[in-house]
Amino acid sequence: MKNRILAGAALLGALALVATGCASSGNGAGGDGGDELVTVGFAQTGSESGWRSANTESMKEAFSEDNGFELIFNAADNDPAAQIAAVRDFISRGVDAIVIAPIVEDGWDDVLQEASDAGIPVVLEDRTVTSSDDLYASWVGLDFKKEGVTAGEWAAENFGDTPTKMVVLEGTTGSAPANDRAEGFDEGIEGTAIETIDSQTGDFTRDGGKTVMEGFLQKYGVDGIDLLYAHNDDMALGAIEAIEAAGGVPGEDIKIVSIDAVHDGMQALVDGKINFIVECNPLLGELAAGLVTDVLDGNDVEKENYLEDQSFTQEQAAEVIDSRAY
């Protein structure tokens, strides 16, 4: 099936309906109070970031009883084995459908086959897997590689002609966003004078970003790093703490480009501590709920469903920060 690109303006309007409940009817998911609730197991990655918290809240709102669902929620604290065990528990409970935000891309073949054998459809949310796409019904999320390309193109435009020493704070090793954002950024800076002098995972956490950045600063010093690329805002925010503790000025001594556009990251951008942010919209709940309802109703769905992302300079962030939902 062809990819379905969801236009930003139309999407924002649709997302505003999440709180009032707008899952389509069928299999009890209509919110009219007269049908049996649809039981959905949601295997979340954890609570590692502000983005993830906003994503979880969006899912809980969309899969609410008011919308005709009973949600069984599990956050695996970024432990792939625990997440797979949670999915197996959903299967044993005989849920109607399963939604997964996979921590890593690999290792899903067996449990997805078990869900298929049990006749339980699976919808992937946010992240992807390397398993055959006939083992899940659909996926909804963001174009992580495009996010990386956008961040890389900004770096190339601003630093590409000048020898620039860059460090990278990677997301969780083996995860789709970490893999794709790295590949996209490398594509965006190809042929430039930007040199990656070090790269290490901070696991998408603020503490991880701070710890890794402290190590980079001990190794290279503030003067030895020109640019930081963080795979998400929380790691960038942790890095800002480390830079300031080392006597540097984030956004000036070390330029920072990040991905997510959560509120704290946008505020750091407004304050000049981050220089550019690429959005990764966490409000996927209503779209995931709609896919689950369509699949259970036997309707055709697209295999891949993308949300459009934006990007922000300091001035652009200042214009929208007060009106954003996350």
Q: Splitting the chain (326 residues) into consecutive groups of 10 residues, what average pLDDT does each group show? A: 39 36 39 73 94 95 98 96 98 98 97 98 96 97 97 97 97 96 98 98 97 98 98 98 98 98 97 98 96 98 93 97 90
By CB atoms closer than 10 A (0-12, 13-18, 19+), residue 126 is buried
Tokens of 194: 């930007």
User: How many whole angstroms separate alpha carbon 198 and alpha carbon 223?
Assistant: 15
User: How many whole angstroms separate alpha carbon 320 and alpha carbon 305?
Assistant: 26
pLDDT score recorded for residue 27: 43
Query: What is the enclosing helix (H) or strand (E) of 277?
Result: strand 276-279
pLDDT in tens, 28-67: 454 444 479 999 999 999 998 889 999 999 999 999 999 9
Query: What is the enclosing helix (H) or strand (E) of 268?
Result: helix 263-270
pLDDT score recorded for residue 325: 84
Q: pTM for this one?
A: 0.84
Please report the domains of the chain, with CATH numbers, ordered by start residue: 4-141+282-309 (3.40.50.2300), 144-279 (3.40.50.2300)
In this structure, is the dihedral angle defined by the CA atoms of residues 65, 15, 17 and 263, taken in order, positive or negative?
A: positive
Q: Tell the residue number behind the tokens 């930003």, with chain if given.
A: 8
Alpha helices in 25-139 (DSSP H): 50-62, 80-93, 109-117
Tokens of 118: 């049990």
pLDDT score recorded for residue 307: 87
| Burial per residue of 273-286, b for 16 or more beta-carbon CB atoms within 10 angstroms, e otherwise | bbbbbbbbbbbbbb
pLDDT score recorded for residue 7: 36
Q: CA 110 from chain center: how many Å?
A: 24
**Cα distances (angstroms) measured from residue 89 to each of 45, 73, 75, 115, 245:** 16, 11, 13, 11, 45
pLDDT score recorded for residue 29: 53
